[in-house]
Every structure is written in C-alpha cells, then in structure tokens.
Amino acid sequence: MIVKLAWLRSLRLATLILLAVLTIITSAQAAKNLPAPGSYVLQRILQVPRAVLLDTSGVPILTDEKLRGAITLLAFFYAHCEDAAGCPVAWSVFETVREEARRDPLLSGKLHMVFVSIDPLRDTPVVMRLLEKHERGDKGKVPWLFLTGASEASVSPFLLTMGQDVGPDINARGQPTGAIQHMLKVFLVDKEGWVREIYSSGFLTPEAALNDARTLALANPVRGKSKKLQ
C-alpha cells in the first residue's frame, strides 16, 4: 500500500492536469438556462432501497437508514476505474460541489456525499479508508463517505434497484480485462431517502447538482446540522 501511495504522489501533476481538463470540459457543457433554485420541483423517482454495505471500518450499515436525514449526492465508482468519462468525472464534480457547498449556508453541514464501490472484492474497507482519508481534511462541513460491500452479491441488488448497470469488460478474445463497464450515474437523494434527480455521463455538472441540491434544501430545509454520517 505504501508503494501505491508513493506511486500516486508521482502522478499528482498528471492528476491535476487531468482534473482541470475534465472540469473545463464538463463546465463547457454545463446546462444553460437552469431555473432558479427553489423555483421548481424535483420528481420523486424512486426510494433508496435497503442494502447492507460496509463503512471504512468494515461496520455494516443499512443504506436506507444511512441516507436519511440529509441531502445526499451518491455515485457508484470503483478505485481501478480507467474510464475517463466515468469515475474521474464524478470525482471532479464532487470536489467542486463540496467546495461550493461548504461555503453556502444553505448546504453547508446539510449536504452529504457518498461513493459506493461496484468492485467490493478489490475495494475493501481498507482501500475505502485510504480514499476517505484523502477526502476528509478540513471538509467536515460536507462529509464524503465511502462504502463498499462484503461481496459482489451483497452489492448487486442495490445496484439493480438503483438502475446502475455494471458488468465485466471483455476483450476481443472474450476474456475479462479487470475493468468494470458501467454508465456513470450520480443520484441526488433527499432527506427522506427519495432519489430526486439522476445525472448520467455527459450531463453531470456541478452547476446542475448544486442547483438541485439547493432546490431540495429550500423546499424541505434540513434544520441545523444533519445527523453525522461518520
């Protein structure tokens, strides 16, 4: 793991460039003409189903309970993702959303962010803890939680109900490459556990997510600080 972290540090410059480029691209395609926050109603698309996942300490949590009480931005990811239009975009958008939200009284302390791994065999709680540690810093006002599963079977029903397609990437010889094919989707969940918006690859922007999160906050304010996620 030490080797991996050193290797990661060596890629810091490339990472900076990558994220900047990605952010510029995603910003350039930001939806224009968004209505003012609070001037519209987001649909109740589906309720977050109950599933047992693991936090970074390996402690089982119930998704439907964990995601209540706060406005939550949730994405499915995996640590080895190589799809430039997938996980890195979500990560970049989450970073921007968190920076904006922590300075916004409407969202600070009331918006949570959650990454759920679709690769529980490799993304163990230990790996999740490393990622979460990177994201903790002084950003406590907008907590970022990393969850995984005890097995693929424990995560699959959750993915299925949420409408997140995943599957093994197969090369020309019919062999799995180790990558996981999935369409990037980010879910905005209200404090009652309803999915109120879904952002798919190519249409995920910080502006849209923040606009909708503020709309939820205005429509149904979360009083004071929400319950702690961690």
Footprint on residues 70-109 left by another protein (CB under 8 A)? 77-85, 87-89, 91-92, 95-96, 99
Between CA 145 and CA 143 the distance in angstroms is 6
Tell me if residue 107 falls in helix, strand or coil: coil
**Is residue 156 within the footprint of another protein (CB under 8 A)?**
yes
Specify the residue, 41 or 52, whose C-beta has the smaller distance to another protein.
Answer: 41
Shortest reach from residue 124's CB to another protein, in Å: 12
Element (H, E) at 53: strand 52-54
**Is residue 203 within the footprint of another protein (CB under 8 A)?**
yes
Beta strands in 64-210 (DSSP E): 71-77, 111-117, 144-147, 166-170, 176-182, 185-189, 194-200
Interface with another protein (CB under 8 A), residue total 80
Specify the residue, 1 or 224, whose C-beta has the smaller distance to another protein.
Answer: 1
Q: Which residue has the tokens 């990177």?
A: 134
Binding residue for another protein, selected from 180, 189, 210, 217, defined by CB under 8 A: 180
**Is residue 22 within the footprint of another protein (CB under 8 A)?**
yes
Between CA 138 and CA 99 the distance in angstroms is 11
**Is residue 3 within the footprint of another protein (CB under 8 A)?**
no
